[in-house]
Amino acid sequence: MHQVVAACLAATVLLAGCTSPEAIVNAGDDAPAGPSGTPGADAPGTTPARKGDSAHTHDYWYGATSTVLLDETVPVMVFHNHAFDEPPREQHTHGCEETLASDSQGGSRKFSLPPGNIVLPGTETLEFLIEWNAPGITGLKLLYRPANTHDPIDAGPVTSGQNVHISLLPEMADAGHATRSQWVFFLCAYSDTPLDIAEGEVHTNLLALRAPVLPLEPAHPDLWGDNTTRPLSQARFTGTTLTAANKGENVWLQLPIAPGAIVPPGTTQVRILINATSQGEGAALTADNLVAYYRDSSIPEWAFKIADAAPSEAADFVFEITADHDMVDGIYAYQTNWELWLRLASDTRLQTPAGLESAPFVFQGTLEVDTFAVRGAEAAAERAADGAG
């Protein structure tokens, strides 16, 4: 079993295929310790033991000095002042300068690494090759967001057929046990014309080059302790909020996850609790008027969920988002891959886009929102077994 899993993992790293993230995560004790077979080099995605832990390296290179992380041809269409009906990070499209703002990623073509591919611990340099022949593309600029920050970094204008070199500090790479890369890349239109437009197919190739010495990562942390929940976000919204019926400025309410908070391994649910206090002449808030949008480690696009009424002292409304092992963050994650937004929407808006023409629904009052990662019974049992072993 060791040889089969090791061979498949090596092929995953070198050829970006072979083994699914589920298979790697479920490899358990059969996952290889590393190319040399020495203890202290973990296989990606495996659940680490808690006893006898110490600082160690994560060697996912298996003797290689480079590996291809992305190789695809994609359509690109980016320009100023275009809107999509998605949460604000995609809703407002502008040019390169606006894309660099942490609360706006519009105006750009977003690239995420395929599931199972990460910027391996020990990556020293990334070489991003971008090529195009489309006459509709007069110029592009590359932006990238490493694993240790939410804010995109400007890599400058791109020349078709020439590599863009990105030098990494150890903390910029994805951490050990990551199930999905936290790196994101963006291409935006960039030229000398007043209105930047780029439309056509672009081929992209991303090569990772290994550092001579792999970084030492700390002992596996116990991220839960005796707790069954971990707080992710607290938010309070006061005032008049208009629904998407007229695309009011306060349609979208971001639930900013606290710095350093992650959805750790063992999470089986992300729970959003909402206390609503109505004031003034606005309509009463019901579960039909609330939508939660979310993105996680395994879903590059947005998913949404309608609220459930929660007649209890804890909250007036609740969202219970099921999280499986592919959706959690890595055990060493610097930040979470999750993003959460609330949207207030009228009943007609939920049923059909024609609801945009209806009279706007208005809620006046206060929303207090608490978001938690909830630990599953299996994780609790596993920890108890570790303590008794």
Q: Specify the pLDDT at position 193.
A: 61
**DSSP secondary-structure letter at 228?**
S
What's CA 206's distance to the chain center, in Å?
A: 19
Q: Domain end: 148, 177, 210, which one?
A: 210
User: Closest Cα partner for 270 from 243, 299, 233?
Assistant: 233
Complete DSSP assignment for 20-38? -HHHHHTTGGGS---TT--
Whether residues 205 and 346 fall in one domain: no
Whether residues 188 and 234 fall in one domain: no
Q: Which amino acid is at 288?
A: D
Number of helices (H) and strands (E) in the chain: give both, helices first: 6, 19
Q: Is residue 114 part of a domain?
A: yes
**Could you give the C-alpha distances from 187 to 75, 96, 141, 151, 310, in angstroms and in order?**
11, 9, 6, 15, 43
Sorted by sequence, the CB contacts under 8 Å of residue 123 that are 6+ apart come out as 168, 173, 208, 209, 210, 211
Q: Is residue 45 part of a domain?
A: no
At residue 3, what are phi and psi to the nearest 5 degrees?
A: -65, -40
Whether residues 204 and 336 fall in one domain: no
At residue 96, what are phi and psi to the nearest 5 degrees?
A: -60, -40
187 neighbors 202 (Cβ within 8 angstroms): yes
Query: Which band of pLDDT confidence, cut at 50, 70 and 90, is reported for residue 22?
Result: very low
User: Closest Cα partner for 180 from 19, 312, 345, 296?
Assistant: 296
Q: 158: domain CATH number?
A: 2.60.120.380
**For the chain, first and last CA: distance in Å?**
24
Q: Is residue 48 part of a domain?
A: no
Whether residues 124 and 96 fall in one domain: yes
Q: Which amino acid is at 295?
A: R
Least confident of 13-17, 55-59, 101-105: 13-17
Whether residues 183 and 282 fall in one domain: no
Among 116-130, 178-192, 249-263, 286-300, the range with the most confident prediction by mean pLDDT is 116-130
For 265-322, what is each residue's pLDDT tens digit?
Answer: 899 999 999 998 888 766 678 887 788 989 887 776 778 888 886 666 678 899 999 9
Whether residues 233 and 326 fall in one domain: yes
Whether residues 206 and 284 fall in one domain: no
Per-residue pLDDT averaged across 366-384, rounded? 74
User: Within 10 A of 208 (CB to CB), how many other CB atoms are there?
Assistant: 26
Q: Domain end: 181, 210, 239, which one?
A: 210
Sorted by sequence, the CB contacts under 8 Å of residue 245 that are 6+ apart come out as 345, 346, 348, 349, 355, 356, 358, 359, 360, 361
Query: Which band of pLDDT confidence, cut at 50, 70 and 90, is reported for residue 198?
Result: confident
292 neighbors 272 (Cβ within 8 angstroms): yes
- The domain total for the chain is 2
Question: Has residue 388 got a pLDDT over 60?
Answer: no
Whether residues 197 and 307 fall in one domain: no
Whether residues 133 and 252 fall in one domain: no
User: Within 10 A of 83 (CB to CB), how many other CB atoms are there?
Assistant: 11
Q: Is residue 159 part of a domain?
A: yes
Whether residues 179 and 284 fall in one domain: no
Domain carrying residue 179:
66-210
Least confident of 79-88, 230-239, 279-288: 79-88
